[in-house]
Each structure stands twice: as structure tokens, then as C-alpha cells.
Amino acid sequence: MSRSPGRKQENHKISRELFVLTYGALVAQLCKDYEKDEDVNACLDGMGYSIGIRLIDDFLAHSAVKKCRSYSETADMIAQVAFKMYLGVTPRVSCSSATGNEFSLILDKNPLVDFVEELPAERASLCYCNLLCGVIRGALEMVHLAAEVTFLQDRLKGDAVTEIGITFLRKPEDRKHRR
């Protein structure tokens, strides 16, 4: 028997919905376990970091991407390939510094908040999707790119878009290859 082309797409959608619902349950449990939003944010970032350092191998194996030569190429790769591959969305990339080491990923639609209406008033400083920051930071570190990754804007906090800021912390090393 052969599968119909629509079947695979349906399974992908179901698994994404299951992931989003499971993620929401995880965040809810962390909110019960920790009183302070900062502790929940740190826990989500740490979990994301652990995911990122493992996910990069899968990304490199399945995406067939070539080595990025600049921070700009790296930011584009994260947005156009990685986000599309794992979350089904493609954020816009905006360079926010003259030195070319600060970028923003702007998401008009964030699939992790599909079933979230708003954050409770007592959780105003919670970064609900902080897992994403950790994933990006962990994956970048595994390819020897130290970066600071933070949420700059969040739709759950009333902003127009979700914006993730990436600041690369050191200049790429000029390496001379010996023959």
C-alpha cells in the first residue's frame, strides 16, 4: 500500500501540535515548581541549551548546508533553514548594529504560543519561549560561535511581533591554513 501525499503532512501537523501542547504543560509545571519567573526563564534556557547542543548534529546532517562565512550568513541560515526545518516558520532577519554582530529574528507567528492566549498578570516577567534562546545559543556554541540570545519583544507581552536578539560575542578568527 502506498501512502497518500496528504497523510505525511497531516502527521507532521499532529506532531507539531503535540509538541506545542507538551511544551505548554512543561512551562506550566515549571511555573508551579518555581516561584520566581527568573528561575523559570533560566530553567527553560538551560533546557534549550541542552537541546541545541544535540540538535546541531541533526541539523547539519539533514540540511546539507555549507559553512557560513559571516555572521549575516549564519543569521540567515538560522532563520531560513533551521526555523523552517524545526518549527515550520521563517522569521525575518534584521541586522541591528554597524559592526554586523547583532541580529534580530522577527517572528510574525510563533508556533510555540498557538494555544496560549496571554500570560497571567503575576507572571509578567516570564519569557514563555525562552527555550528557543537556549536552543539557538547551544547550537551556535557547538559550531564555535559564542552568542548572547535574548527575547527583545514578545507577542504574549503585548508587542506587535516576537523578536529574538542574537549578539555574536567575538569576532571570527582569521585562520591561516598551512599546506
Closest CA to 150 of 104, 116, 98, 108: 104
Report helix, strand or coil for 66: coil
Q: Domain segments of the chain: what residues?
A: 16-116+126-168
Question: pTM here?
Answer: 0.86
Which numeric CATH code is attached to 16-116+126-168? 3.30.1380.20
pLDDT tens-digit readout, 116-151:
988 888 999 999 999 999 999 999 999 999 999 999
pLDDT of res. 175: 41
What is the rounded (10 degree) CA torsion for 144, 89, 25, 53? -10
